[in-house]
Every structure is written in structure tokens, then in C-alpha cells.
Amino acid sequence: MPGLDEDDARRRFAAARVARLATVSADGQPHLVPVVFAVAGDTLLMAVDQKPKRHRDLKRLRNIDDNPAVSLLVDRYDDDWSALWWVRADGTATVTEDEDVLARARAALGERYPQHRADPPEGPAFTVGVTRWTGWSAI
Amino acid sequence: MPGLDEDDARRRFAAARVARLATVSADGQPHLVPVVFAVAGDTLLMAVDQKPKRHRDLKRLRNIDDNPAVSLLVDRYDDDWSALWWVRADGTATVTEDEDVLARARAALGERYPQHRADPPEGPAFTVGVTRWTGWSAI
């Protein structure tokens, strides 16, 4: 299996429109949701479209509180399997209501997604410090 | 957020070509890979294209040995966010080298993927008993 080097993996991930975020609950249950995101170096920026006081209602944020280890996946599927590739970003997540981080996440997301420019997420922000980029491509 | 009923969620999942499988290691690290699969009722069938004796080399199978709780996600992304939807299948995974289960997985995968008809996975098979189908659609 041809692995992708780190720069290629990061570049492919950063160009994708959607990723899937895996978090783990205190009792070891995985949880998956699709997320929009922006990449700044080895940091992933995300935000939640929900008022801060209610954000602990979201399973992904409760899980990050209990276990900050997360994994995100970007993948390309095609019925022609020679076109398959995927990139995984493993790292540590931080949820923050810090206004500077939220402003940075909003700006980065707004550059990528017109929906976020029109209607910025209320927060909180959450960031992932990526400790490992892993990728594979069929060709 | 309009949730999908269980039948709709299962139907959308079953029609997808690829899903993302989240497993969790003994020390609580999530792991994500894209997978091809077949759905039979509330059971997901998958197989690994690797000789049985070497299958413990695969992180997803080691994780399932340590913690059988898994989650799989199918999602549709579109820059028109009114077209977004996703379905998550949460359940319990079992890895098996049982020839009957492997034959059933091979047959089900072969029906869906011509590549598997031409070159069946060597095994092992792994199945997921889905305990919860959860889905969301923007419209």
C-alpha cells in the first residue's frame, strides 16, 4: 500500500470540503459526525453553531471533555478503485469559548464556506492539534 | 434538525458505496478507516483482504479485540448545504475466521463490488450488529 508523505497528506486533507470526526465517550464508545473545518498548519479549526451555554448538549463536545483524543478522516471513494485515497489526522482536541480563537475559527471557516460568512457559528470553537497525518493512495 | 427514521436511515446507509469505520484502542484512542460493506437487516458485513494469520497486524481488528464498540458513518456532502445528510450505525463488532460467515460476507460484498467478485477478500470477516441507526437530513 503506497503511503502518502506528510505534506501530501496534509495538503489533501486541507483541500477537502468535509471530514468525519471520531470522538470517544468516557465509557469507550466511539462517536462519528461529519464536520466542516479549516486547516492552519498542524491545527484543525472547527466551530459549533450553538450557543455556548448549551454546547455540552452536543455529544462530540462532551466526549472531548472526557477524552481529548480524536481522529478525523477525509477519503475519496470511486467505483474505480485505482482512484481511492484517504487521509487521517490524529490528534488532541480542545473546546474553547475564548473569543480570539472563536474569531480565528470563524474567519478561517468563512473563507472556505460562504454559509459561514453569511451566518457565522455562534460557538464554541474547537481545535485539534494534529500529532500524526497518515495517508494512503491506490496510485 | 430533522432526524431520519430508522428505516430511512438503514436504507440510505445500505445504498452507500463507502462508510467510515471508527474503532477504539484499549487506551481510548479512536481510529478511522474507510470501508466497503454490505448490509443484511441490522448486520453489517465486511471482510479484510489479508491472510488470517496476519490479521492482528491491522489496527481496526486489534481494536475490535480490545473493545468491540464501533461506529460507522455514511454522509453526503454538497456545497449546497440543503442537500446534506448523514447516517450513523452504532453497534458491536465481531471478527471471525468462521468459513460460513466469511463465505456470506464474500457473497454479499461480491454482489455490490465487482472487484470483490474478481478477487475475493481472504479474510477474516467482521460483522457489526447494529444497535442504533441514527440519521439527519437538511431537508
Per-residue pLDDT at A49: 79
Q: Which of B28, B72, B84 sits opposite A67 (nearest CB)?
A: B28
Position A27 confidence tier, pLDDT thresholds 50, 70, 90: very high
B41 touches chain A (CB under 8 A): no
Write down the pTM of the prediction.
0.95
Per-residue pLDDT at A109: 97
Tell me what the mean pLDDT of segment B2-6 comes to. 91
pLDDT per residue over A86-135, tens digit each?
A: 999 999 999 998 999 999 999 999 999 999 999 999 889 999 999 999 99
Tell me what the mean pLDDT of segment A9-16 comes to. 98
Residue with the bigger pLDDT between B64 and A57: it is B64
A75 touches chain B (CB under 8 A): yes
β strands within chain B, DSSP E: 19-24, 30-35, 38-40, 43-47, 69-76, 85-96, 125-137
The whole-angstrom distance between A97's CA and the closest CA on chain B is: 23
CATH of A6-137, one of 2.30.110.10, 3.40.50.720, 1.20.1260.10, 3.40.50.300: 2.30.110.10
Q: Which residues contact B82 (CB under 8 A, 6 or more apart)?
A: B138, B139
H-helix or E-strand containing A125? strand A125-137
The whole-angstrom distance between A51's CA and the closest CA on chain B is: 15
Q: Which of A1, A13, A18, A20 to mutate to test the interface with B (most CBs of B within 10 A)?
A: A20
Q: Which of B20, B21, B76 to mutate to test the interface with A (most CBs of A within 10 A)?
A: B20
Per-residue pLDDT at A139: 86
Position A57 confidence tier, pLDDT thresholds 50, 70, 90: confident
Closest by CA to B128, choosing from B21, B26, B53, is: B21
pLDDT per residue over A58-86, tens digit each?
A: 999 999 999 999 999 999 999 999 999 99
Tell me what the mean pLDDT of segment A39-68 comes to. 85
ipTM score: 0.94
Closest by CA to B62, choosing from B26, B105, B33, B19, is: B26
Across all residues in chain B, what is the average pLDDT? 93
Per-residue pLDDT at B51: 59
Q: Which of A23, A34, A79 sits opposite B73 (nearest CB)?
A: A34
